[in-house]
Structure 1
Amino acid sequence: MFSRMRGWVAEAASSKILEPRAWIDANFPHARAARISLLDTAAAVTRSSEFTLPARQGGHQFHMYLAADASGTNTIILAPGQELIPGLLRSDKMIELSSSHLGQLNALATKHPIVKTQMPDTKPCLRVITPEVAANLAAAREAIDLVKALLPYGAGNQIKDIAATEGESVLHSSLAFRIGGRPEFRAFAAIRAQGGYCDAQAGLTYQLLSQNPALRDCRVDMVSGGDHVFVVIRGQTPEQDIVVDAWAPFASPTLTQDALPMHRAILRGAELDYTKPAGTVLPALNIGEALRQQAIDRSNYPSIRENFVAEKYRDPDSDIADQLATPVDQWDVPFSGNPNVRYEVSDESGRRLIAGPLRFDMQRIPFSPGPYQTQDA
């Protein structure tokens, strides 16, 4: 069902269909350059000492990261004091995912003539939240960053990922695809393949959130509908629910009111694929073993195309062309919600607990080099 999720097709656009190889050749240079520019312009950050943010379930330990964003504005980012998967994410640089910054770097420029771009409302706004919601947003941001680090080739049905990887995201996602299966199995396959469609991205996100002790008291749902699947951290009220959809190339965690119309529509009649009940923590995924098998694959097959032929017995270029030639199989969803929301954390009396608004559109860079960076980056 989810191997080829249907995008929204612009009406009367069928006459504009490009030959797939020509579309990739025309878009790859600027799409890749934009991703490299995102890394080159990453904000240098300084980390505060650990502090406690009070909450009903007990204190949460955090770091605050301080940085100036691309506009020169001082920025405050909240991150868990205890890393969920130590050693994967850097603590000295972050990528800014505001719509204005991405626009300046042409990261949003890649289009396909027969796929409609889905954008959230990007109007800047301020939300007042509780310490519990702030803690959940920080956990969600960390999970998205880990998914991006572990699945660096993105999704093989997202137009911007296909262009930036010269079509290779299609091959990585195809290798990761599993019909059915529990989230941990999808997550393992996705890490091994370094990419995945929304089912794989959601499976890994769900697993990371559900094994996080900081979310023991939260219910976590993997929901589906309308040929899409994503994860929700449930709050004390529906207004405090958080959409976590790492499938979007420039994803940020958002409250449901700031998520895409697509997300809100699905949530109104969502099917619950999997649920981690409040008061539980799932066993940790064996990420080390998945990375070990990934390393074996890379040793056996010097290129993803050779790996694809060996596993799928199909021509990789034909597979990429077939994917791009079918408009209902493509999406252009750069954001999972409004990246320009800022948050003020207050207690029940209205007292502000953190000086200055927080933002959760800053993505930590992985230590391991991906398709857009070198070992020394």
Structure 2
Amino acid sequence: MSIDQHGDTVIEGLSVRGLPKISLHDHLDGALRPATILELADAAGVDVPEDDADALGDWFAEKSDSGSLVEYLKTFDLTTAVMQTREGLTRVAREFVEDLAADGVIYGEVRWAPEQHLAGGLSLEEVVDAVQEGIEEGEDLADSRGHDIRVGQLITAMRHTDRSLEIAKLAVDWRERGAVGFDIAGPEDGFPPSKHRAAFDYLAAQFFPVTVHAGEAAGLDSIRSALIDGRALRLGHGVRLAEDLEVISREGEEVLVQFGDLARWVRDREIPLELSPSSNLQTGAIERWGTTMEDHPFDFLYQLGFAVTVNVDNRTMSRTSLTRELALLAATFDYGLDDLEAFQLNAAAGAFLAVEEREELIELIAEGFEA
């Protein structure tokens, strides 16, 4: 199985790019086109490390491949710097949806932190409105090109600041206008979900869905706090949940695994794991197991029955797409169409939508994989 220059491959006669996909963990400020960054930076007077789109793409990939989430996050200083005007936010959101459609995505959730886009004088309401305008423009453009796609906002608070309750109220206020859920992001280690308990209490009282970044740069305690303090319905990454699984014995293909209470709870409750293979390698999230895709515990979790989903995290930083992530996993673990379909069905079941809409997505996925 070979992956072409666009990250695509053919499995059982079907192009992975052409298969219907669900994107649950996709950051807006991690998904800018390098050419767009250059244009917006020029207009805003923002310094850039490279003046060529390809070279800038290389710069992001090199700087992000640090083995540290803290270092990885530093590259966002540039992308957020060019997302401080209404026009810039709307354009980035529109192009984001276009890129998802080109990736075969039929439903996506885009996460971003409004509090990081106020330097140009816009209010929280204005930045959310600007992004929603871009999303709707992108959906209309995709529809005109024959691709039906829907994208919802995951309004995100930064875990190292003190605005989470304010952002939670903003998210709920936009519930009927494009927001489908809430998240906290940023440096994980040292900033547990418990520090934002007031925000999560408010969201729970409003019956508003929550996903929480956990189990990436911090371990089991972070995941536990996401579930208990955050009432998370999904785990953003959650890859380090594998630390709560102990291999007792191996005999041929038979593996005996002892589950910790946390891992068993997540597996038995079918709480989706928003795994991002390439990003997990770049940030060192899987360093306990190794440094290559073969070392990623994705397949281990999948074979044990966890609700694994496949995500890009940040398209620009990882220079990737959902098509490429699926192709990499298929090549690494010898997955077939049934496996790739299972990942999309897990994502559809975990989407922050009404049950009728999730059932519709499941039908579209089944139809697409049978084509």
TM-score category (smaller protein): under 0.3
Looking at both structures, which has the greater relative contact order when contacts are Cα pairs under 8 Å and sequence separation is at least 6? 1
Structure showing the higher helix proportion among its residues = 2
TM-score scaled to structure 1, two decimals?
0.27
